[in-house]
Amino acid sequence: DTAVSQTPKYLVTQMGNDKSIKCEQNLGHDTMYWYKQDSKKFLKIMFSYNNKELIINETVPNRFSPKSPDKAHLNLHINSLELGDSAVYFCASSQNRLAGELFFGEGSRLTVL
């Protein structure tokens, strides 16, 4: 049973399209995150939700919109995709908002052509 699962694992799309990545955790954690790993390999926080409430929103273009229907799910919707959005997006969860140990999903590799 995968603790943090995200779909799709691979996504290839054209510039200008809209796409979504879904994430689910079955750990009973209160807090979920989206991290982006770009071509330089840095893992950067994008968003964090605690019990469906947004608590972190880093400097991310507003084309990126997270949605948390319940505390076990955190989806990422991206509008008007650009070449620079190509990256691996990791979903993660932690027991509470004081992020210590994170549990990561396998990552979703997005390629924008």
Partner 1 sequence: DQQVKQNSPSLSVQEGRISILNCDYTNSMFDYFLWYKKYPAEGPTFLISISSIKDKNEDGRFTVFLNKSAKHLSLHIVPSQPGDSAVYFCAAISNSGYALNFGKGTSLLVTP
Binding site for partner 1 (CB under 8 A): 4, 33, 35, 40-45, 48, 55-56, 90, 92, 97-107
CB 38 within 8 A of CB 44: yes
> Closer CB to partner 1, residue 25 or residue 85?
25
CB closer to partner 1 out of 108 and 112: 108
If the CB atoms of residues 80 and 96 are measured against partner 1, the closer one turns out to be 96
Locus of tokens 């972190």: 56
Pairing of strands 87-94, 103-104: antiparallel
- Nearest distance from residue 73's CB to partner 1, in Å? 17
Instruction: Work out how close the CB of 47 gets to partner 1 at its nearest, in angstroms, rounded to a whole number.
Output: 9
φ, ψ dihedrals at 84, nearest 5°: -70, -5
User: Distance of CA 1 to CAs 25, 29, 30, 52, 68, Å?
Assistant: 10, 15, 19, 23, 22
We find the least distance from the C-beta atom of residue 15 to partner 1, in angstroms, to be 25
